[in-house]
Amino acid sequence: MESKTSSTSKIAASLLIIINGVTLICCTVLFAFSLWLIASPGSLSNAVHSVGTPAIKALLAPEALSVQVGVATAAVSGFMVCISLMGLYGAVSRSQFLLFMYSTLVLLLLLLECALLYYFSSTLTEKGLLEQDGQWTHALRLVFSCCDTDVTLGAEVKPPWSCCGPAWYPDNCTSTQIYEKDCRQTITAWLHRYQTAIYASLAVLHIILSSCSLVRRRRSVSLSDR
């Protein structure tokens, strides 16, 4: 029984180390880019336009690379770095406090992510794409190869570049070249098809991480009681 418990704890620790290690690397890279954006938006913009694909160049245009975006990205990525470090170090050191805090934060993140997903999906379903949402609207048009109904119906309105694709950035898109699919209908159909699977995947991932941290913590408690 003791051997089985130890084996389960090692498996839980391995999962925590692998997942949090990958997350830590990705968030650290994102944090570094956000600091670069805060320190020198111009040089980052030049780097993006030197090596980026047409879609990346269009989405990460100079006007989109602002200090405010850098600060927000640094805050989010820095927070994720702290949580990943907590889970990684807690799994390695068997710290009861860190593992408990990590488990709690992971469940709170699940609630936050589900709330944000519900809010944005409801907004997209009810209102469609809104220009005040900025680059997200362009990204969604490119991903779904769609355009807005009000753009396709109004020939006098100049379509956004993303209604034609990244090759037409910044203002070469015309009403004769736009995507045929309507964004609101396309995104709504996609959400109806995959929304449940997305919620389930988020729940499974976070519950597994939380359970692994509690299993590892339980093993630590049993060792400390000896």
Residue 5 has pLDDT above 90, yes or no: no
46 falls within a domain: yes
80 falls within a domain: yes
- pLDDT-derived band at 131 (thresholds 50, 70, 90) equals low
CA distances from 131 to 18, 123, 158 (A): 39, 13, 13
18 falls within a domain: yes
Q: What is the pTM of this model?
A: 0.81
Residue 34 has pLDDT above 60, yes or no: yes
The greatest distance separating any two alpha carbons of the chain, rounded to the nearest whole angstrom, comes to 79
Q: Scan for tokens 């898109």, then name that residue.
A: 173
Provide the token pair at 172.
Answer: 């070469």
73 falls within a domain: yes
188 falls within a domain: yes
- Please give the residue range of the domain that contains residue 166: 2-221
DSSP 8-state class, residue 65: -
111 falls within a domain: yes
Write the pLDDT tens digit of every residue in 65-82: 889 989 999 999 999 999
Per-residue confidence (pLDDT) for residue 157, from 0 to 100:
65
Span 94-121, mean pLDDT? Answer: 93
C-alpha to C-alpha distance for 88 and 125, rounded to whole angstroms: 38
Residue 139 has pLDDT above 50, yes or no: yes
How many domains, the chain? 1
226 falls within a domain: no
